[in-house]
Amino acid sequence: MPAWASDDDHRLPAESWIFMAIIALENVSKKYGQVTALAPLDLTFDAGRIYVLLGTSGCGKSTLLKLMLGLVSADSGTVRIAGEVLCPANMLELRRRIGYVIQHAGLFPHLTASQNVSLVARQLKWAGPRIEERLCELAELVQLPRAELERFSSQLSGGQQQRVGLMRALMLDPDVLLMDEPLGALDPIIRADLQADLRSIFRRLNKTVVIVTHDVHEAAFFADEILLLRAGQLVQRGSLSELLKNPADPFVTEFINAQRHTLGDGPDDAPAGGAA
């Protein structure tokens, strides 16, 4: 348990840290057939911090994200969102407190950008003026002209599509933002620009953000805390500096050194676009 939830605090149960975290996974595991996607693990994610799930392809990063959202069911354990156990009865309600962004934005091609962004709000019977006000707020936030939202996704660049995808994820003002390799399909220049804008947005909104990537530089650019996974297991969590100075396993050093030519002298030396 975290140090701040020590047994010395008699006001709280010993496991109260689980309920204080915005997301908590308790003994959660997942298999696909005979393949272990995630070994049993306990994780917590605190409010207002940026976390990066880092690792090679197939290490369990995306599965972990999908478990948090309820897109796949755990074979064991419990997922809690703001203290509530994620289950079929409350899944839709809790999902609306979580924004989700995927690599290629996932926009519906038959809808305009504004229709994509406002889809769930319209299903929830938001009034037209409320929807328009929120669209304008988000367009300003992601630096996309309001007029561009009347285009279809095929008429938008890759970077614009990702900005629309972010708007859609933020439409209901969720507590948590989950992002599954959101910049992986973009060219280096667009990627660098969007990385800088995203970091500014995250700091402005002060939401809990969990990003999946295999890119060390991108992890260093965004993260308050990195969680490095391998073969469905958590190898180490901490800042990049902690992983570099005190690796918990030889794999930590091996993984970082394999990309270290992109890092310069530290995580804040350069824009992250060179990692594309």
**20 located within any domain:** no
Instruction: Give the whole-number percent of the chain exceeding pLDDT 90.
Output: 68
Q: Are residues 191 and 236 in the same domain?
A: yes
Q: Are residues 194 and 63 in the same domain?
A: yes
Q: Are residues 186 and 137 in the same domain?
A: no
Angle formed by the axes of helices 188-205 and 158-170, to 10°? 20
At residue 269, the pLDDT reads 42
Q: Are residues 192 and 249 in the same domain?
A: yes
Higher confidence at residue 208 or residue 263? 208
Lowest mean pLDDT, pick from 12-16, 68-72, 126-130: 12-16
**CB-based burial, 63-100: b 16+ in 10 Å, e otherwise:** bbbbbbbbebebeebebbbbeeebeeeeeeebbeebbb
**41 located within any domain:** no
pLDDT in tens, 95-130: 999 999 987 778 999 999 999 999 999 999 999 999
Task: Identify each DSSP E strand in the chain by its residue range.
Answer: 23-32, 35-45, 50-54, 76-81, 84-85, 98-101, 176-180, 208-213, 225-230, 233-238
Q: Which of 129, 131, 97 is nearest to 115 (CA)?
A: 131
Lookup: tokens for 221: 């650019």
Instruction: Give the whole-number percent of the chain exceeding pLDDT 70.
Output: 86
Domain that holds residue 136: 107-173
Classify residue 161 by burial, with Cβ atoms within 10 Å: 0-12, 13-18, 19+: buried
Question: Is the model's pLDDT at 265 over the cut of 70?
Answer: no
Q: Are residues 138 and 188 in the same domain?
A: no
Residue in the structure block whose two tokens are 């901490």: 238
Strand (E) or helix (H) holding 132: helix 128-141
At residue 274, the pLDDT reads 35
Q: Are residues 253 and 140 in the same domain?
A: no
At residue 261, the pLDDT reads 59
**129 located within any domain:** yes
